[in-house]
Amino acid sequence: MAKTEHKNAFRPRKIEKPAKKKRSFSKFRVLNQKVNVGSSLHSIVDGSFLTRSNLIKQVPFLLVITLIGVFYIANSYNAEKTIIEITKTKRELEELRFEYITTKSNLMYHSKQSEVASKLKNTGVKESLVPPVKIYVKAEENGQ
């Protein structure tokens, strides 16, 4: 018995942890008290929010929401219009690119030496058989 008393005398006390607090949503409670969500929801359901005094309070908010809606719709129309213009421009660019390639290939074909010679055959102009020669001019010392 003495041993057990001795153990109990030196055994450190258990430190009690404070009890866990229940999660409190105090911020939401404050918000609910200020906005009074329950009564707001009730007024929407029963239609009392449409009374004259409440409706007058909501007019600036409704105007802002309407203005934002109009800007949103205008922005979406503008974006669609821009996309259509981009598509048309891409299509036109592709057409012009094809026209450029066709014109370039026609020019290459018509500027070949054999094509030029065949076109000029009827006019009397003939192809020179003598190769071109460089002409060297000696510079005079007088400066003339």
Q: 127 pLDDT band (50/70/90 cuts)?
A: confident
The pLDDT tens digits for 82-118 are 999 999 999 999 999 999 999 999 999 999 988 888 8
pLDDT digits (tens, 9 = 90+) for 15-56: 777 766 655 556 556 555 655 656 666 777 777 767 777 778
Q: What confidence score (pLDDT) does residue 20 get?
A: 65
How far from 46 is each of 35, 41, 42, 54, 62, CA to CA, in Å?
18, 9, 6, 14, 20
Is residue 92 classed as helix, strand or coil in its secondary structure? helix
pLDDT top residue among 10 and 119: 119
